[in-house]
Structures are given as C-alpha cells and as structure tokens.
Amino acid sequence: MVNHHHFRWPSAFLLASFLLLIAAPAPAPVFVAADNSTYIPRDYILLNCGSSGRTTDNDGRFWNGDTGSKFAPSLNSAGLTASKQAASSVPEVPYMTARIFTSQYTYSFPVGPGRKFIRLYFYPANYSTHAPSNAFFDVTCNNHTLLSNFSAFLTVNSLNYDSLTRVYSVTREYSVNTSTGGLDLTFTPSSSHPNAFAFINGIEIVSMPDIFTLRTPNLFMGGSSVSYSIEPDMAMETMYRFNVGGKFLSTTQDSGLYRTWSDDTEYIFGAASGVTYPNDPNVTVAYTAGVPSYTAPLNVYSTARSMGPDKNVNLNYNLTWIVSVDAGFYYLVRFHFCEIQNPMTKVNQRVFDIFVNNQTVQKNADVIAWSKGIGRPVFKDYVVFPIGSGQMDMWVALHPDPELKPQYYDAILNGLEVFKIENGNASLAGLNPPPRPQPPPVDASWISGRSTSRKSRAAAIAGGVAGGLVFLIAGFCLVGFYRRRKAKGKDGGSSDGPSGWLPLSLYGNSHSATSAKTNATGSSSSLPGNLCHHFSFAEIKTATKGFDESLLLGVGGFGNVYRGEIDGGTNVAIKRGNPMSGQGEHEFQTEIEMLSKLRHRHLVSLIGYCDENCEMILVYDYMAHGTLRDHLYKTQNPPLTWRQRLEICIGAARGLHYLHTGSKYTIIHRDVKTTNILLDQKWVAKVSDFGLSKTGPMLDHTHVSTVVKGSLGYLDPEYYRRQQLTDKSDVYSFGVVLFEVLCARPALNPALPKEQVSLAEWAVHCQKKGMLEDIVDPYLMGKIAPQCLKKFAEIAEKCVLDNSTERPSMGDVLWNLEFALQLQQSAEESGSISAGISDETPMTIRNKLVDDPSMEPSITTTSTTSTSMEGQSLASVDSYSLTPSAVFSQIMNPKGR
C-alpha cells in the first residue's frame, strides 16, 4: 500500500441525503449500542532502522532503534541520516534515518504463530554517498517474496508525475502467516544493478486476526464465477485501503490493527464523484456478530459516498474508482457497506450492481437486505484476475439496478480494500514503474507574453490547463463548511493539511476590490486585467440580488449556479462555491490563472472571480443554448439542422486545433464529448471543461505517460491499453462526437445488442458494410448531400482508428469538416437537396426519436427555442477573437457530469 504523506482532499457532500430526507417521512430514530472494543495484538514491534534508543512518531507511537537490537544483534553502529527532509509532511520518525545494506542481511523477529501485518517504510533520499536511484533490492519473509528488484525511487517518481500533490515516501503493507519459528525479514541488494544497495527506514510488525478466511468469496473470470478458497498460508499485500466518502484515518484511528485509511477522492474516475455524507445524528453505527470490531473502524462505516439524488443522472453514469495493480495476480476486493441515513431503512429502497474490471460481480446489491438494518455494517468479498501485462488499471464501479424497481436509483459505498494474493511461486513482487519523462517547464506568460513568478508557473503546471475545473470539483460540497468554520477557531494542526480556503492573495496573487467595469490596475495581480476582472463580494450580491433563489439556474457539486446581471444588464452565470469541504483553492486559483489567458472564440472564456470573505466565486457569460447533447436526443429541444451540426462540429474542431497547436505547449483536453461542447446565443460552439487536461509531451517524447482518465464511450482504446496520452486521444474522442452528431444516439447504450452498445464500433461496422444511412438520425433523412455524408463519415471513421498514428491531426479533421460544409452548401444552393425542415414538424420527429428504444434517458435538459444561424457560417468567423463569449460548462445542466 502506498502511503501519500501530503495533504489529502477530503470530499463531503450532504445535499443528496438532505433531499432524500425531505422526500420521505423519517422513521423513528435508530439507536444501537456500539461495540467499541478494540483488538489487542499479541505482537507489536516498531523498529526505527538506522537509529538507537526510543523515539516517538507523529501519532504518539514509540519506536525502538535497531542499533544493538535483539532483532539485529550484529548492527552495533548507527545507520545513516537522510541528507535533508524533502517536505515537512514527511515524519521524522521513522523516515529520517535508514539502515543501508550492501550485502544480504536478515532481521529475525521471535513472534508467535498466526497472521502478522508487516509494514515496510521507505524514504528514497541521499544517505551519505548512497544515491536513491541506485537502491534496487529484494525483500523476502520466510519463504515468501515480498519485493524483487524494488526501487522506491522509481515508485515515488511515478506517483509524483501524475499526482495532484507531492509524494515523498512509500509504505508497503503485507500479511504473512508465521509458524512457531518466528519471522525472518531478509534484504538483498539486486545483482543486476551496479552499485546497488538495499535500505529500510522502518519496520512494523503487528499480530492480526485472520480477516481473510472468514468466508469463501467467488472468483470472477471472463463473466463466470467459481468459489475461491483463500488458504491460511497465503501471503497478501494491501494495495489500497479507502475510507470512501470520508477523510484520511491515521494509525491511531484504526480499530487495533494500526492501519491507515486513505481518502478515495484522488482515485475517482473523471468528475462524476457522486456525493458524500456522514451518518444521520439519530443513527448509531454499531458492529454486529458477523462484522467484528477489527474489520474496519467505525469511522469508515460512519461516512459514505453515493451517486446523488437525481435518478436520471444516476442512470447515465457509473460511480467509478480506478486503481493501478500488477497483472498476473489474483486480487481480493473487499467492499464495506453501511446504510447511515434514516430514509434507508427498508429492503428494496436502494439496489445497485457492482462491477470490477467490466465484470458484474454482484447483481441486486441491497445493503439493508444484507445487514438486516440501518447502522449495521456489512462487507462483501470478490476475487478477480486482471488480464494483461505489467502495471494496469483496475476499474471498480457501482450502478443503480432498476430490475427490482427500487425506491431510489442510487448506489452507496463506505470503504474499499484491494489485496494482492501471492502467486504460485509464493511471490507478491511486481515490476517497478518505468522512468517517467519530466513534464516541460511551463511559463505562465506563454500567451500573455510576459514573465511571471516561479510560484505562478508552478501553479500553472500543477493544474495543467484548468479551464472548466468547476466539474473536477463537482461532488465537493456541504459538510466541509462546518469543518472549515470549526477549524477557524482552532490552531490548524491536522495531519491532513490546512483546512478551509485561503484568500487568493496568499497564493501570490493579491487583488484590490476593483469594479467590474475597470481594470485592476491598482493591484499587484499577475492576471491580465483586461481579460479577467476581480469582483467584490458586494458586486456579486448585487448581480444576483443577494443570491435570490428565483435566479438559481442549477445546483452542482461545487455550489449553486445563479443567473446574474453586471454592467447594467449583461447576463452572466455566477457559480458560488460551497467552501464546506475545505478543498478547491488550488483549482480555483489555477482556473483563474490559466483560463483567463487561454482565449479563443471556440474555447470557454472567464469574465472574473471573487475571493473575498473566504468566498470562491467564478463569473462566466450566460450559456444560452446549453450543451450540444441537449439538442441531439431525448430532449424537448427542436432538432438541429444538418448545417447547424456541421458548423458546431467545425467550431469545436477549431477550439481543439488551437489547444493542440496554437500555444507554446500542446494541450490535450482528455475529455472531449458532447456535454463539453457548449452553444452560445448565436449557436457558436465552445469547448469547455478542462478539468482533466494535460500539457502534451516535450519535443523529444511522443506521448505523456499518465493514469487513464476520460469518459467511457469516448476513451481512446490505445490510451486505455498503454496509458500513453497523445493529442490523437482527443481526435478519437472527437470522432465519437461526430458519429453522435450524425446518429443522434449516445456514445454508449448498454440496452442495445452487444455489437451496437458502442456507437463508434457500430458506426464503423455500418460504414464498412455500406449501411451507415440506416443509423443516421431519422430527422436528417433526405437533408444531407450524399457527397457531404461520405466525406463526414470518412473523417469520423479515420478519427476512431485503433492505431493512433493512423488518425488524422485535428487540423486535418477541421479541413475535412469545412470541405464537407462546402459540399453541403453547394448541394443546397443548386437545389439538389433541401436545406429546410421536412413536412413533419421538428417536434413530431423528435418525439419519434424519444420513442426509439435505442435511445437511453438523457441527463437533464432545458427547453429553448431554436434560432436561425442568421445566414452566417462559422467557417467565416475570426477564430482568434478575444471577445468573451457565452461559456460555462453545463450551466444549463449543472448536474450533467
């Protein structure tokens, strides 16, 4: 298990539970006498390697040095000290001293029989003349191989490359069953590396109950399942342990086994993070006979993450976590559940399915049916065998199950653990991650043409291109406000890092309260004053009439979205953050820094922000026509004409082409889809939501190696397989968008036959068979010039080729789309094809589409009135205008992600 010693982002959101509370009468309060008994280990050893005497760690635990220890009697001299402490978040004990081995060495621990947790602590730093990059070694425990050719240096570097915050140290946790002979831990420098050495900073050994053979889980392979027996002598490695929906739990907050439980936020796929909440005050969470106190802390079962209160939203996405694992091993995946909100007291209120690596491991999951009551924990085990090579992603997902027609279409999870099971060679060792290329240095002046401070550049690269980060924060909201206020009255000494939001000025950008009508010339802002205004909180209140509920456009995870007026009548969208989760200040700053400089007619534009009184408010132009998807299927909006669709696709392609080629460094969007293409009052397309964007590779690299993120149905299969991101990944996603525009159906529709589920695959199949016209939007029948359709389908097909090198560049895509538009215009002008509406009214045709069983429910739509394009082609519009335009990701549909 990797322990990230840095500030973790706790995520909390009480809105869903509140809505559920008011949706049904609350039953009588449930009070259960909690069993607070704690497991007491027989053996408990904390060895601070390289030191002597007794020291205390940050959790108040006592560590003994290994110098002269009975576990290592030959070690009579002190070890080495780290050259410097890389960050204050790295504890002094046990990380600042290390024992270095240039030849094989064995620690012997005379422990009793039974299972033991073995935790190894590594801090890859310079120790005298020993460089961390030379540390390659094996670790064995009795007859089990724990690590082979292990490099803590490569492991930490790989985590830092794609992590939101810095990682400096690594902890590995194993569970090994010992006999009466005790436990021998052997460190051996690798013979395959010159100057190789082994090192260890700390060793922890804790007796544990047998938590793995309590029951016999099912093994899922290729869709079928068989019973899998976990033998007592099998060694295990803890890969991940999450307190889902809750904050990081330290060793002293565990139930006697000194485990740590990580916040799950960083591992959630995309921005669809659901909602989080604690237990209802009237519900006491208590252990049961089937779930002993050592299974997981009550704090794990007392917080949860669910999908949210909107049935239509929940049916259109999976609540998904992605974790990296080593192929070639079996994995035990343990799910911890506990219903903790009063509405959930009966069977068939919340029923969902559980998926691991695209396999259904549980149908009709019902926590109340399993636990027999509210506030009663329960856990479920499943074993999977990921097929692949090297390090790969494991997907864990939840989705509502409508089969039993439950009261709420939702899913819940309280905790998640992933354990690796040793292979037939009694080994748990995986491969080291490959060396990561260093990201290019980013100068925040790459557009504005002026230099910025080092701090601003660091903020810029840390966030990548953070336009649209409102939705990266989607799912963060309510409970944190209480935490932040509580923290304001206390000295912030939490190991989780700072709580609450800090004024932007504390991050190197102080701003005066400048009117929206004037430039911030009197401030020391590094932001271009002519592109981004600083609003005072009073101006924001005036614009929204004191945040009048009648002006509420929608509610998202980041906060409420209001329509407002500035400058005497200009409509804007004002997103007010809920500062309750104590997180978001980094994204808030990055969005302002980057989005205010990324200016293009077909990209989102930022008007301004407010950071007074610990508020985090973003101001955008009002988005009149919502998202492209709002006008394609399952909507009351009139259907778009084919020329409108072409012009929208051309606009989006221009925006993406600018990202790929128009700035100093390539910017890869990584989440291109129809809900991230927005339409302003004049139907001009804007690419939005840069929350997953990454800076592209340097000139001497072909790709960026990174954790796979994106949206299912649009995800580049080559990127998914190889974890190598290029601008061609955006091209693939845009190809799916083109087919979606043509066919007016979702990118994925599981209700269809297997071969038709993926739009991209099905459209390519139909294209090759000459049947593409059979799946074109019925409204477009007879309205597309044959040559235009041929050109459009041809470029869409090339975009979704499996091999990224065979895909066209976004510039080529743009050129072909403009050519297709010319073909369409020529056909319409010659009278060979109709440019207007058919005899059937738009709504008649749209209703036919709604009744089509191939259409899945849309998320949330907003009715608008179609307006003409005023005879203007987007191809003729200056794409480099800096005029702010109507942009805000999913303003008309804030719950759509």
For the cut 70, the answer to whether the pLDDT of residue 891 exceeds it is: no
pLDDT number for residue 740: 96
Q: How many H helices and E strands in the chain?
A: 17, 39
Please report, as a single letter, which amino acid is at residue 812.
D
CA dihedral 270, 271, 272, 278 (to 10 degrees): 120
pLDDT at 428: 97
Coil/strand/helix, residue 300: helix
Residue 737 DSSP SS3: helix
Tokens of 889: 């990701």
Supply the pLDDT for residue 861.
Answer: 27
pLDDT in tens, 359-394: 999 999 999 999 999 999 999 999 999 887 788 889
pLDDT, tens digit, 9 for 90 and up, residues 612-661: 877 888 887 777 888 899 899 888 889 999 999 999 999 999 999 988 88
Q: Return left, alpha or beta for 373; rule: phi > 0 is left, psi -120 to 50 is alpha, else beta.
A: left
Fold of the 44-207 domain:
Jelly Rolls (2.60.120)
- Tokens 């002046």 correspond to 445
CA dist 242 and 76 (Å) reads 40
pLDDT, residue 433, reads 83
Question: CATH 3.30.200.20: which residues of the chain?
Answer: 454-621
Region of poorest pLDDT, from 83-97, 427-441, 777-791: 427-441
Q: What is the mean pLDDT of residues 103-123?
A: 96
The pLDDT of residue 44: 96
517 has pLDDT over 70: no
Q: Which residue has the tokens 């009551």?
A: 373
- Banded model confidence at residue 422, pLDDT cuts 50, 70, 90: very high
- For 22-70, the pLDDT digits (tens) are 333 333 333 333 334 568 899 999 999 999 999 999 899 999 999 999 9
User: What would the mean pLDDT of 212-220 be, rounded to a whole number?
Assistant: 86
10 Å CB burial of residue 626 (0-12, 13-18, 19+) is: buried
Average pLDDT over residues 648-675: 87
- Higher per-residue confidence, 25 vs 116: 116
Residue, of 171 and 584, whose pLDDT is higher: 171
For residue range 67-84, what is the model confidence (pLDDT) as tens digits? 999 999 999 999 999 886
Choice between 589 and 600, residue whose per-residue pLDDT is larger? 600
Rounded distance, CA 77 to CA 98, Å? 12
**Model pLDDT, residue 492:** 33
Residue 778 is predicted with a pLDDT of 92
Per-residue pLDDT tens over the stretch 246-264: 999 999 999 889 999 999 9
pLDDT at 4 over 50: no
Residue range(s) in the chain whose domain bears CATH number 1.10.510.10: 643-858
Task: Compute the CA torsion angle 531, 537, 540, 542 (nearest 10 deg).
Answer: -130
Percentage of the chain exceeding pLDDT 90 = 48
Domain 643-858 CATH assignment equals 1.10.510.10? yes
pLDDT at 869 exceeding the cut of 80: no
Q: What pLDDT is attached to residue 894?
A: 31
Cα of 98 vs its chain's centroid, Å: 35
Average pLDDT, the chain: 76
Which alpha helices (H) appear in 585-664, and where do they start and end?
585-595, 642-661
SS3 for 178? Answer: strand
Residue 11 has pLDDT above 70, yes or no: no
Ranges 201-210, 350-359, 436-445, 885-894: which has the least confidence: 885-894
Which of 264, 671, 689, 727 is catalytic? The answer is 671
Would you tell me which CATH number, out of the four given (3.30.200.20, 3.30.365.10, 3.30.420.40, 3.90.740.10), belongs to the domain 454-621? 3.30.200.20
Return the percent helix, strand and coil in the chain, to nearest 5. 25, 25, 50
Distance CA 16, CA 210 (A): 37
Mean pLDDT, rounded, for 828-845: 55
The model's pTM: 0.52
Residues forming a β-bridge with 687:
603, 677
Higher pLDDT, 777 or 845: 777
pLDDT digits over 689-720, tens only? Answer: 776 777 766 544 555 556 677 788 999 988 88
Residue spans of alpha helices (H) in 265-395: 298-301, 311-314, 367-371
Q: Does 671 qualify as catalytic in the annotation?
A: yes
Residue 847 predicted with pLDDT over 50: no
Q: What is the mean pLDDT of residues 541-557?
A: 80
Query: Could you tell me the two tokens for 411?
Result: 């899913």
At the top level of CATH, which class does the domain 16-26+212-421 belong to? mainly beta
Say which DSSP state 9 is in.
-
Which pLDDT score is estimated for 875? 29
Residues of the chain with CATH 2.60.120.430: 16-26+212-421, 44-207
- pLDDT for 615 equals 85
